[in-house]
């Protein structure tokens, strides 16, 4: 959530950056400032009225002590009238503060200075690429055929048990999934991340804290009886670990990694882009989250990008890194890099990771702060990234490494999987 003071002091900058993000309702900025003016006036009226009540109450005590009961009774009547006036002022103040908050959360995070203008994925900038696209044998097939051929994943069975987008991993498919999860977690913890295993459902406050509410409620599964949301990513519960906490400066950076299943409704998804593992309603992902001092967050963002890049390189997959344009970024992000790996059998690039800096957008909502060297409480910056999302990684590993005599596996997975091929 943006801070009102920053908006007031930098209105033109805010409007310019919202334009980069292609935000369609810039008038909300003026609504926020008008509501803040109204809030300040009501706060002043409330404080002045309360001060008059306090002054009159002290006078009543002095008048009673001096024996001037008539004057004391008159001042009591004044206090009663002031208290009666105070109630509506307080009600208006509470209502205005709520409306200000509800209006403020409609504004997305501002894109950082490096974010390019643009409206669609075609406007994203390729930063760099790596790996070599494989040349497949003549009988090569997409992963949805490979998983059937080698009895790795049963999409029809998942459809029977639950519905489309909920596959059942079987035999060596389940083992490979577990191998990838273990390898990703070990890779992350070896690089200083602390592993956590969070809940898979969160309350409304947690979903609000990371920006899923009120922006993405249509993409989340909701448990109506308990008012819980199934998590769309481990980012939500993991970042909320420090909600309403004040960290010591020496505790920063906080580096966490977590494996969780993820649940997304993906409303409106259809066609060839959702076939097989390309887009699921339930999938597995290993996540990175960092909480850092503000002046370090963009340096840390690049470090996280390098970390994910090394992980993809270790799997031997051809990849490219994209800096997202303003129109293709998430609501809460200030800057995002996407990683895509090349799917040889489908002849297309598939997104497997996003690494983002949210600056103070999330931490302002969650009140995650640290005490600086001057003893002043400051908001930390939050960052997160996929390290990695499994379905498309698995799809590309199967497709790119298929041979006429089986599917070869990257060397880093041999000890986790227990063999060098399927």
3-state secondary structure (DSSP) of residue 70: helix
Asked if residue 269 has pLDDT above 70, the reply is no
156 annotated binding-site participant: no
How far apart, in whole angstroms, are the C-alpha atoms of residue 414 and residue 420? Answer: 5
How far apart, in whole angstroms, are the C-alpha atoms of residue 169 and residue 300? Answer: 35
The arithmetic mean of pLDDT across residues 113-131, rounded, is 97
pLDDT digits (tens, 9 = 90+) for 295-339: 999 999 999 999 999 999 999 999 999 999 999 999 999 999 999
Q: For residue 88, what are its two tokens? A: 């509506």
Q: Sort 122 into a burial class: Cβ within 10 Å, 0-12 / 13-18 / 19+.
A: exposed
233 annotated binding-site participant: yes
Query: DSSP H helical segments within 21-136, as ranges?
Result: 27-66, 69-104
How far apart, in whole angstroms, are the C-alpha atoms of residue 316 and residue 133? Answer: 10
128 annotated binding-site participant: no
384 annotated binding-site participant: yes
Q: For residue 184, what are its two tokens? A: 């990703």
Q: What percent of the chain has pLDDT over 70?
A: 98
Instruction: Give the pLDDT confidence score for residue 273 in this predicted structure.
Output: 66
The arithmetic mean of pLDDT across residues 362-383, rounded, is 96
Mean pLDDT, all residues of the chain: 96
What's the CA dihedral at 317, 318, 324, 325 to 10 degrees? -160
pLDDT digits (tens, 9 = 90+) for 149-175: 999 999 999 999 999 999 999 999 999
pLDDT digits (tens, 9 = 90+) for 26-63: 999 999 999 999 999 999 999 999 999 999 999 999 99
Confidence of residue 272 (pLDDT cuts 50, 70, 90): low
Return the closest-CA partner of residue 130 out of 257, 288, 315. 315
Asked if residue 107 has pLDDT above 90, the reply is yes
Confidence of residue 266 (pLDDT cuts 50, 70, 90): confident
The arithmetic mean of pLDDT across residues 222-233, rounded, is 95
How far apart, in whole angstroms, are the C-alpha atoms of residue 397 and residue 420? Answer: 13
Return the closest-CA partner of residue 305 out of 242, 248, 353. 353
Instruction: Give the pLDDT confidence score for residue 215 in this predicted structure.
Output: 76
How far apart, in whole angstroms, are the C-alpha atoms of residue 382 and residue 384? Answer: 7
265 annotated binding-site participant: yes
Instruction: Give the pLDDT confidence score for residue 214 in this predicted structure.
Output: 86
Asked if residue 93 has pLDDT above 60, the reply is yes
**In this predicted structure, which of 183-192, 203-212, 269-278, 400-409 has the lowest mean pLDDT?**
269-278
How far apart, in whole angstroms, are the C-alpha atoms of residue 311 and residue 304? Answer: 11
Instruction: Delineate the domains of the chain, giving CATH numbers in brackets.
Output: 4-104 (1.10.287.40), 121-417 (3.30.930.10)
Beta bridge partners of 382: 291, 359
129 annotated binding-site participant: no
Q: Is 268 left (phi over 0), alpha (psi -120 to 50) or beta?
A: left
**Beta-carbon contacts of residue 16 (< 8 Å; ≥ 6 apart):** none
Question: What pTM, to 2 d.p., does this model score?
Answer: 0.93
Is the Cα torsion angle 15, 20, 21, 24 positive or negative in sign?
Answer: positive
Asked if residue 270 has pLDDT above 70, the reply is no
């Amino acid at each position: 959530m943006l801070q009102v003071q920053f908006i007031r002091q930098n209105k033109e900058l805010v409007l310019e950056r919202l334009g980069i993000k292609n935000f369609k309702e810039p008038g909300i900025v003026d609504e926020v400032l008008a509501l803040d003016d109204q809030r300040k006036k009501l706060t002043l009226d409330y404080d002045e009225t309360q001060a008059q009540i306090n002054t009159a109450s002290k006078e009543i005590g002095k008048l009673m002590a001096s024996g001037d009961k008539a004057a004391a009774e008159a001042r009591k009547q004044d206090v009663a009238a002031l208290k009666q006036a105070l109630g509506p002022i307080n009600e208006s103040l509470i209502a205005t503060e709520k409306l200000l908050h509800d209006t403020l959360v409609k504004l997305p995070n501002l894109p950082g200075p490096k974010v390019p203008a643009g409206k669609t994925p075609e406007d994203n900038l390729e930063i760099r690429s790596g790996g070599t696209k494989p040349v497949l044998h003549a009988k090569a097939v997409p992963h949805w055929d490979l998983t059937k051929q080698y009895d790795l994943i049963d999409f029809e069975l998942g459809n029977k048990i639950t519905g489309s987008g909920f596959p059942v991993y079987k035999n060596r498919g389940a083992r490979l999934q577990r191998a990838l999860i273990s390898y990703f977690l070990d890779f992350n913890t070896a690089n200083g991340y602390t592993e956590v295993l969070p809940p898979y459902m969160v309350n409304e406050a947690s979903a609000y804290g990371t920006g899923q509410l009120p922006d993405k409620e249509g993409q989340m599964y909701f448990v109506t009886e308990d008012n819980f949301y199934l998590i769309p990513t481990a980012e939500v519960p993991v970042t909320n670990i420090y909600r309403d906490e004040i960290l010591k400066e020496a505790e920063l950076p906080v580096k966490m990694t977590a494996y969780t299943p993820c649940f997304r409704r993906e409303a409106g998804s259809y066609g060839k882009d959702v076939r097989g593992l390309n887009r699921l309603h339930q999938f597995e992902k290993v996540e990175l989250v960092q909480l850092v001092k503000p002046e370090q967050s963009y340096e840390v963002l690049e470090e996280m990008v390098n970390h994910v890049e090394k992980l993809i390189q270790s799997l031997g997959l051809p990849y490219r890194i994209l800096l997202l344009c303003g129109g293709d970024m998430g609501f809460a992000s200030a800057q995002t890099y996407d990683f895509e790996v090349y799917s040889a059998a489908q002849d297309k690039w598939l997104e497997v990771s996003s690494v983002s800096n949210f600056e103070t957008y999330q931490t302002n909502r969650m009140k995650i702060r640290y005490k600086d060297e001057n003893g002043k409480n400051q908001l930390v910056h939050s960052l997160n990234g996929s390290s990695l999302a499994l379905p498309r990684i698995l799809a590309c590993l199967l497709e790119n490494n298929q041979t006429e005599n089986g599917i070869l596996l990257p060397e880093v997975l041999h000890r986790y999987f227990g063999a060098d091929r399927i």
